Structure 1
Amino acid sequence: MVATFNLKGGVGKTTTTAALAEILSAEFGKRVLLIDLDPQRNLTTMMVGERHAADLDYGDHTLASVFGDVLAGYRPRDAAELVQHGVSAMHTVDSVDLLPSSLKLIALQDDLTQVNSVDPTAILADSLSGILFNYDYVLIDCPPSLGLVTQNGLRIADGYVIPTIPDFMSTYGIPAVQTRIRQLSARWGCPIEELGVVVTKYRRSSAVHQRILDDLRRNRGLPRLFPTRIPESNQIAAAAEYIDFGSLRQKYGTGGQFLALRELTDDFLTTTRIKLAWGR
């Protein structure tokens, strides 16, 4: 299980998570569960469309119900009741499931601080326990904060990836992320591996991007850089739309953008096999 996380929003985290899932399924034959913990529910909207995302929210068929049950004094709802099977508008992607998010998580996160009957960081783990064996990979899209909802995602994660634009505002918080996750890992008694930094929205012509990349490479205290850089691209940005583009190459970009994402996915597979015992 891998969390994608950055304290800075707008860095391409959700698009990268969705692309990894779709390529793992269509190109590598993996069964993938996406867990959308971000109250903005962008990943949910990307994978099922805005109308269905709203219907799920209205019908209380989202992860908000898991946390809401605990706040009401009950056991958390079984995630099996909430999983959306075979998501993605792409007909070539047939083995990606989703646990959808909700705008209600914004308010629920504040209320979770009052929970004392159970460990408020272990609620999601309890809910998921019966379904994880169904998947080769679980990707957890975390919100850009280290509140209790994010901590629930990190609590179940074997490792984490930091997508980032190579600029100062997007990268300066990386050491703080590393420090806090190490603290949480020690508190929970379970390792959370640093899998690496994914460079997104990369502009080869940008002197700033080149300088920041050099800084990231030289700083041995930071996680490794995945060698593939995801270019800034209108087509990748448009991939968030819920339509069948025909092929993943057409969805993410025929000018090398899809190939970059596929190379990233290949490296992701290798990295998880090496660093995480469950990668297969």
Structure 2
Amino acid sequence: MKNKYNFHKIILITFLFLISSCGTEKVPVEPEVEEPIYLNTNELTKLNIDNPIYKDVLIFYYNPIINRDEQIKGMYPCLETDQNNPIDKSLIECFKWKDPKNTATLLATEISTLSGGVLNYIIKDENYYRLNDFPIKETGYQFDIQSYLNCYSGIGNCNIDMADYTKMLGDPLIDGKSICQIATEKNINEIWFFGGKNYGLFESKLISNSQIYINSPSVDVTSCLMPTIVMGFELAPIYDNFNILDPTSSKYEEQKKDLLLENPLHSYGHRIERIMKYIFQNR
């Protein structure tokens, strides 16, 4: 786990080093060498520029509610309180998934740290939106609570189609406005989605008519007036909980953060790989 986590750290630092070092001229292609190149990450993390980059982020997290009447019927196995006094619970509470706000804050802080303060994501409280639903898939399929629980618990079929980003971003969603309209009004640079397994979220996608592939095909949504990168992060931890960690260890908090950020940094690393390939493939 730790090696994979560090690998994506190095990918991120390398990318930020390149974009902050490059001007408008083409970067000369170095001759191929047989010896491996080792990066001194301690030096790279000291990288800084006179004008740091600040990006505003819009965050949506899918978190449907399991209501108390459904729990009384015994449909859902996540109730921890008295069965005679059930309370409404969300999927995140039910399955003890990662908290989206905490995960987003940790990711933004980590990227700022790794870039030496070059890249800074701004996440305002009013830019978090909770969605009491599941994404609509490209085939038109949409989970409900029962079908998703059956899928998650392994007793029912799972729809593995990808989400329909044209509908996700272009259809009216909040107060009659689409996500793209909200992003335009707020002058947002990036959109981050958080959801569970089999929600159909792509790791990264460019909303543009430019046909640039960043780990998934780009999609043109007319209500998005400027190119926007959309990230998709899985909230469900790789392990059911943090029981694999020793809470008495001096490295517990660091290990917990690594576990929380492994999926987001993994997705972010793939995004960077694709962008680097696009930028440098013809140089």
Same fold judged by TM-score > 0.5?
no
- Normalising by structure 1, we get a TM-score of 0.30
- Normalising by structure 2, we get a TM-score of 0.30
Structure that is richer in helix per residue: 1
